[in-house]
A and B are shown apart, each in its own frame.
Chain A
Amino acid sequence: MSGKTSKRAKAAKIRDVLDTEGAAIESNTQGFNDGRYESVADLENYEALKDEARTIKEDAIERLPELIDKLTATIEENGGTVYLADDAADANAHIESLLDDADADNVAKSKSMTTEELGVNEHLERAGVDVVETDLGEWVLQVAEEAPSHLVAPAIHKSRAEIAELFEDHFDPDVPLETAEDLTNFAREQLADQIAAADVGMTGANFLTADSGTMALVTSEGNARKTVASADTHIAVAGVEKILPSVEDLQPFVELIGRSGTGQDITSYISLLTPPIDAPTFDGDHLGDPDDREFHLVLVDNGRMAMREDDDLRETLYCIRCSACANSCANFQQVGGHAFGGETYTGGIATGWEAGIGGEEAADEFNDLCTGCSRCTEACPVKIDIPWINTVVRDRLNRGDDPGAFDHLVTGLTPDEEPAGLDLQKRFFGNFATVAKLGSAFTPVSNWAAAAPPSRWIAEKLLGVDRRREMPTFTRGTLRKWAKGRESPADPEREVVLLADTYTNYMHVERGKAAIRTLEALDVDVHVADVTESGRAALSQGMVETARDHAEDVADALEPHLDAGRDVVMVEPSDLAMLRDDYRRLLPEETFDRLSTNSYEILEYVYGLLENGADIDALADGEGEEIAYHSHCQQRTLGLAAHTEAILDEVGYDMVTSEVECCGMAGSFGFKQQYYDVSMAVGDDLAEQFTTPETADRRVVASGTSCHDQLTDLLDRPATHPVELVAPEN
């Protein structure tokens, strides 16, 4: 694909970021993420607050044109000016004219992602204005001439020692700077003089309220307060999406933003400023009249009003830039925003922002780092479906400039609905069901061929499948074939239809057999569905239309079973997540609701059966065997890890569980040449937890197929699905 970084170059870039920034990023983001869990646990009404925040944002974006008008009128009434800038050039030209009017040569800024987006600093420096960043992290980056790597903690990729070295080189201080306190004091003193000398204080705004003209600034250092108070002229630059109807609407955000981001219950300062502010000015050697203060708000469109009209990108505008999606992301925790981010924005939501502001291509380089594991969706305080935004943008990138483009000749040859130019790697993994079907039919030739060195070489060259990965082994004979003609329980309590996913049907057939034996032992009559592929593989490659085709096939195949009163049971959590959640985007609402409410993960279902009186003695006895269990990322998001753990415990296994939320494989992600290193880096944490003296000899148990593959690669001992541990012998 022309114009794109090659897979090999991308792999090299990621390896470099992993080596130079990975360690600092990992300890910081994991600290934030742990802090989030702790902090939100203290909040009695956490879920209700998130719902409230979401509702407020939905309403505000819906009413945005009206709110812009209202805010403008309010601020003008308060004595300020408002300018609505179409794009970066427009905003920068206006800001420059405001500085001219104020006769300003020096600007002190508090942290603002929107001014990063616009390139305000570069523009003003070209115009001969001195600009100083006063947030310590931003200042470090200004000195180092680097870009932020994180929405909230922009210099998160730098260690204390690296900052000390930077200051030594740049400032040659009289006394050596060693501790964090030394560095902070040094920075404060440098900045105090520059803030005092500034003619203009420039801030962003986390929120703006249309009813009072108040802006909320969320900070901990106090630099925003100081930049506003020290200069007579205050310029605020904010995206139009920051407007809320009223002051009261701020409350849920104030309670959620710090907790969701860095795990602080609340930051030191929530400044509610209704500028021009009421503090007296610093006027030489005496305090001046507060009425001498001036305020100018620059509201920025820069693509946002178009995002508002875009059904898939609109949700991005609900983002409050707390960084929860970055901190909760296993891949981000390894590489940070310099790999997982665009020109300005970083982390999972960056795809929405960059695509909305700069077009889809602006997200091309990093969009694939979202594996759709969904761990960010419960972390996001405004409940944005971040994986979906990433999927949609991936789909648009696949399609290129012509969204309707289909080459019918090629479409006839490949079983998907994707454009001719689609990357072969994506096509291969997105159509894995077909690969599996063929592979299974031709075993053992296919296994031998997949493992043979020339074939691995071809797979890497052509498809970008990393040669260090072992391709899954196909089995001759599918689960469906095995299940056919089995005798049903004589007097079944219930009937289910097992949707055997591609892996369970063609490769990990043992877990399918175990699922059926388990269900039958609990007096359940099991039918096996005629479909295998849920569409997960296609969706993860951004092949939305192909995924929709699969979803429709699944619905068609399952509906007669549902009509017959059967529940749907699934083994693979990522496929269950399709039915439970992703199908809302792919199928008519009624069909989605029906599939979603009637589908269950195998051990969730077993748990339900036992709760309703089924006899646990029908299951295998764990006999105190020591196991180490890793639940699957999407299983965690669905809230289903506990069911498996409860049953394994109940039947008598001695279990430890992993704290790592994602194994790093994430379907096909870890197979891809360009992401092998980050995948293994994510997996290392899991490997570490399962190789301690306490866990090293335990049997490894995992619920997801890709977790299984990853663990097998990481540990050199096989992994087993939990249902195989509870299934009775036939």
Chain B
Amino acid sequence: MLRYTARKFALMLFTLFVIATITFFLIYLLPGGPYQDPTKITPTVKALFDAKYGLDKPVPIQYLRYLENLIHGDLGQSYKYLNRTVNDIIAQTFPVSAQLGLQAILFGVPIGLIFGILSALFRGKAVDYIFVFIAILGVSIPSFVLAAVFQYFLGLKLGWFPVARWGTFAHTILPSLSLAVGVIALITRLMRTSMLDVLGSDYLRTAKAKGLSNGVVIWKHGIRNALLPIVTIFGTLVVDLITGSIIIEQIFAVPGVGKHYVNSINTNDYTLVMGLTIFYSAMFIFAIFITDIAYGLVDPRIRTTGGKE
């Protein structure tokens, strides 16, 4: 198990290194330079800026320097925001996105599970149709439409929630809800399928034949086993949600990290683009790593076949 973990960990670091490298070189393909108004920049200003950001060195040196800083956890200085470091920007904006994401998970996952379970238990009944319909709606309506609708009706017309902005718990409800709808839909569908699978399996029939009560069968043997696929996607789902959504953040004027992904590319803020890509990938890869480890723990087959290669 230790060898398996170590192997996975090494692979994780290697993946991150590859991503960092690819990002570093891709950045240079963006049109224009990193400075805000290239037309106003004289060679002198450029020389001074290049020196400040280390762009005056040959690309291989820049790359090594960048990797060195990365190892020390230093993502560099933003080009657009004067004297702000990428670390600062992530530290200030990530907690906001993380809060929204976690709220969406805390709200969305239990509901999705309940919808999925009930759907499966009452397969073909009205309850099933209603929940499946909700799930399909949730998957097919884009989040920007949903967010705009929530904002307009629940915020502006009914006045139940703040229209947008950030500050109190009330401000977090609509954006969290907008995120949660997708989660509910996803989990409902997944849980329903998985539950139906389990309900039709032989061991469940055996359990029933042994004379166990319906509740015990469903609870102990059914739901617990059906939860496995949810565990599989849970890690990546969490990362996806806590790293922010540009659409939700723009619409609700939330100071999260999500909008920086797109904006930093538009403004050619090289260091911010690289920093965010690496930050996001690191979280993602780490989630996959944890999932892999969890798998290894849960299912010995994965561990042994993995070790033999």
Partners in one complex: no
- Give B contacts to A, CB under 8 Å: none
